[in-house]
Structure 1
């Protein structure tokens, strides 16, 4: 059910459900912030009680700061629209359906279209969120101001209008992995301006970003510029086409270069059946980036990229580039079968850094995934290394599973995980569960991933959907410049909010959220950039997770 601009947000309820609904054959539960007891499931069309049971025992949940209990109703599989009734209170209405997340998946993916830079978003595709083309001027190369390059295209990274190589590579990779893992979920047109009957829209959307990433490869060296931004962020109420400050290609970094190599090598495989010339171009870019890395010593402990003194946009600094190199080597080996890339991967795998992370600060998990998935089709991988990495990934999934058993809302989030971008951690963990299941892990990992989707869509202590436009209490006042400036009451739909942040890293949070438990450290307000901003790499793992439950 989509929230419209004229629909007032209901008051927060103590009974938290996934406000969209539950797959008919899956486990189903709600969480109640209270002492529990007998509950009823009511059919909203007939007002008849169709299911009765009793909640489990109550217990204190540290992250939410509440005494909670859970009510299970997995036996109810009849399609319909329902609500939970308990102790005189009611939940949001929700559906039970064989395929309840098709619109959600489409919305999460369509959000990338709204984030496009450099083209007019026309009303037939953008609706009321249309706007003129933006940021079409050439960019200035920061360390050689006499050099100007085409900078047009790609996705705005977040609530600002910057564009960043590493985060863009993560987002594209999540989407390509989602398509690779369940291509049938992407057969329906969004639609996009490029939609045709030949290539799925997810690949059209990724290509829009990949075409821009080509422009981030320094034509002089083959390294990748770290980012393309103005020197300072524009005010919050500025539409993208009105942001006319000079754009700068900020200096090449090893992390950005390795990310470009990794995502381009992956793209070369995925696009080969659809566009051979484009796939070849992707592989050439990847190999040229690797050549730059090959002649540039790694920096395992810094210094990584730092903003120049006159630049105040997002830094995305990263002290170590070992994880990004590890990922790049794995993707290049999987794509080409070249023994040199295999040897580079083996050497990097022997070094002491985490191998299962999926965030922009540590991209190692993508290297592990590429190697393990590639091993399914190759007889030339290192069997011992493959076994070690697979055992490690499954052990990581089991570690997260143990956390789920302890959490009041059934997620893998600990109190200390509610940081800036906590919903990215949430969805990254859901991704890891689903990858672990694909690589031979237990079936319950799939169910645990679904519990994370339930949290995102409202089964949380705040009874809020963290996806704009979806659910009956969705975020709507995002820290996102177009939604602040466009005079449209409803936020751009399908955007994932950053989520609760116990560190209260912005002034608005510090003023309004002092003393709250970690999972309650959130406010749906445009000034809360450390809690209510959006980014491409918060949406992308959500697309991955949700798409694996779409038929």
Structure 2
């Protein structure tokens, strides 16, 4: 159903760690509030909210209730003298661990090509799917056996660029927060040696390797049917002919980058796999060198599945050069990186269409010598972007870095990408200046937002329950697959349901928890992946 703005008290429905700041957002004018212990029913804390102000994104007047000084573990709620109340929430040390595990486990549920067995999938089990070799579009006699990998979203397409973004987020999370991944998910591959996050990423990486053209070294852009199946189609029932779309420079650049990154990360665990990743990366790089200018990808005429087109490929090449230089130390990649850095593209973004931020982070956090004017320029640019985001956070009624016009399709990806960037900026600057602001984005994700919902299936007292996700629609199970991040509010009204039911809503409230509203309530691997990264910092 469509979500009304909740004119009440909104909190992180998972709760707050004992020593973190603890802030709720209350709709309406400033007033007194009380913290209620669920067990005793007693008010254990009383205070006054901050000054009320207009929030441009939600259209609400809001004020904040700060109870950060209360550190006693327990289950609580908030009340005001005006009769408002919050959902229950926990104060404790382990409030995010289960959600972190579920966000990671979601990638297993996205797997294509194998049985999801009850042992690992529980009631969301289903059969193997999409095992037929795919036709190379335009070459009817040629087929590619590209089984495996992750379904991209609520449909069953598989795309190299978005997949590379998702794997990069998970590998970065493992690199920077290894202690967050010591517990088994578990997965079929769990062995107590290699962390499950790396087992899961390997499943996608091996699919990508099947997408590299054996003849040219370039990488096919995507693998899909000609059109999406019906909304309640289970994966194993989607039996239409599969097609791989032509090689693209964006896919090849992303592939070269993520394979070089994987070579570095997997080397301590499996030298043969790491070596194969590096060879695949270098072969893709050679394709890029032979094709310095290449047409932007567009869907072939008969294919109407997600296009993932791009205006340019300089950012993907830049990322590839950075990762290859970091992994190999070869000067030819350093030279290419410096040359690509002179081109005009965003060097801080972490989205599937703008990969420049991954190249910048790889370069700045490399063990290679990067004390140069270019490194300083990139460092200054990244920290400047972080401060711009921080300035928006300080003005936003709910404490996040989105401006009203940024509530677009997949706004929660922006929420999480920008939280990720704030944490990475702290790492580059060796500070903790943005840690609390990044945590505010987690509070938003799990309920401290204009509609008072947790945007993660299965978590919180008011979670998303009807995502645009075909397995969750078609499996006959009441609850959706847990741990999926919904796309979130979208002022664009880009599906029929949204146009009919959400017109006139404020940007931060243009959301509907219905399967039909794919432009607000779809799920994807690359919305989950930055959520894993950000939560990894806090577990």
TM-score band by shorter chain is over 0.9
Q: What SS class does the counterpart of residue 146 from structure 1 fall into?
A: strand
- Structure 1 residue 370 and structure 2 residue 371: aligned? no
Q: What is the match of residue 309 of structure 2?
A: 317
Q: CA deviation at 1:350?
A: 1.2
CA shift for structure 1 position 237: 1.0
Structure 1: gaps (5+ residues): 1-8
CA distance in 2, matches of 1:414, 1:345: 32
Asked whether the equivalents of residues 7 and 28 of structure 2 are also in contact (C-alpha less than 8 Å), the reply is: no
Say yes or no: does 1:193 pair with 2:188. Answer: yes
Q: Which moved more, 1:28-37 or 1:436-445?
A: 436-445
1: distance between equivalents of 2:75 and 2:7? 18
- Report Cα offsets for 1:138-158 as digits up to 9, x if no partner: 111113221112121000000
1:333 & 1:65 partners in 2: Cα distance?
Answer: 47
| Mean Cα deviation higher: 500-509 or 39-48 | 39-48
- State the match for 1:6 in structure 2: none
- Alignment counterpart, residue 342 of structure 1, candidates 310, 334, 342: 334
CA distance in 2 between partners of 1:373 and 1:50 (Å): 45
Correspondence for 1:475 among 464, 471, 478: 464
Tell me the residue number matched to 2:344. 352
1:512 aligns with one of 488, 501, 504: 501
For 1:220-239, what aligned pairs fall within 5 Å after superposition? Answer: 220-239=215-234
Instruction: Say which SS state the counterpart of residue 433 (structure 1) adopts.
Output: helix
Distance 1:149 1:60 in 2: 56
Preserved contact between residue 6 and residue 450 of structure 2 (Cα < 8 Å): no
Distance (whole Å) between structure 2 residues aligned to residue 45 and residue 121 of structure 1: 40
Deviation at 1:99, TM superposition (A): 2.9
- Structure 1 counterpart SS, 2:486: coil
Q: 2:252 aligns with which of 251, 257, 264?
A: 257
- Aligned to 1:530, what secondary structure does the other structure show? helix
SS at match of 2:360: helix
SS at match of 1:88: coil
Q: Which residue of 2 aligns with 1:17?
A: 11
Deviations 1:122-143 (A, max 9, x none): 1111011000000011111113
Q: Do structure 1's residue 532 and structure 2's residue 526 form an aligned pair?
A: no
Distance in 1 (CA, whole Å) between partners of 2:75 and 2:203 is 38
Would the aligned equivalents of 2:5 and 2:509 in 1 still touch at CA under 8 Å?
no
- How much has 1:412 moved relative to structure 2? 0.4
* Aligned twin of 2:65: 71
Say which of 216, 234, 241 aligns to 2:236: 241
Equivalent residues of 2:4, 2:451 under 8 A apart: no
What RMSD over aligned residues (CA atoms) do the two structures have, in Å? 1.3
Write the distance in 2 (CA, Å) between the matches of 1:242 and 1:113: 19
3-state SS of 2:521 partner: coil
Counterpart CA distance in 2 for 1:389 and 1:454 is 30
Aligned pairs for 1:56-95 (under 5 A) are 56-86=50-80, 87-95=82-90
Deviates more, 1:83-92 or 1:108-117: 83-92
Identify the range of structure 1 (40-49 vs 128-137) with the bigger mean alpha-carbon deviation: 40-49
What pairs with 1:158-177 in structure 2 (closer than 5 Å)?
158-177=153-172
Q: In 1, are the aligned partners of 2:36 and 2:76 still within 8 Å (CA)?
A: yes
Residue 354 of structure 1 deviates from its aligned partner by: 1.1
Aligned to 1:283: 278
1:418–1:519: 8 Å Cα contact kept in structure 2? yes
Counterpart in 1 of 2:135?
A: 140
4+ residue runs over 6 A deviation: none
Determine the structure 1 residue equivalent to 2:292.
297
Q: Write out per-residue CA displacement over residues 334-355 of structure 1, whole angstroms, 9 at most, x where no aligned residue.
A: 0000000000000001112110
Q: Which moved more, 1:362-371 or 1:385-394?
A: 385-394
- Give 1:35 deviation, angstroms: 1.2
Aligned residues: 536
Alpha-carbon separation, structure 1, partners of 2:298 and 2:338:
29
TM-superposed CA distance for 1:441, in Å, is 5.5
Asked whether 1:121 is paired with 2:116, we answer yes
Give the Cα–Cα distance (whole angstroms) in 1 for the partners of residues 477 and 93 of structure 2.
34
Distance in 2, matches of 1:274 and 1:443, equals 31
Distance in 2, Cα, partners of 1:331 & 1:262: 6
Q: Distance in 2 between matches of 1:331 and 1:342?
A: 10
Query: Please, what TM-score do these two structures have when normalized by structure 1?
Result: 0.96
**Gaps (5+ residues) in structure 2?**
none
Query: Once the 2 structures are TM-superposed, how far is the Cα of residue 14 of structure 1 from its aligned partner?
Result: 1.1
SS of the aligned residue for 2:434 comes to: helix
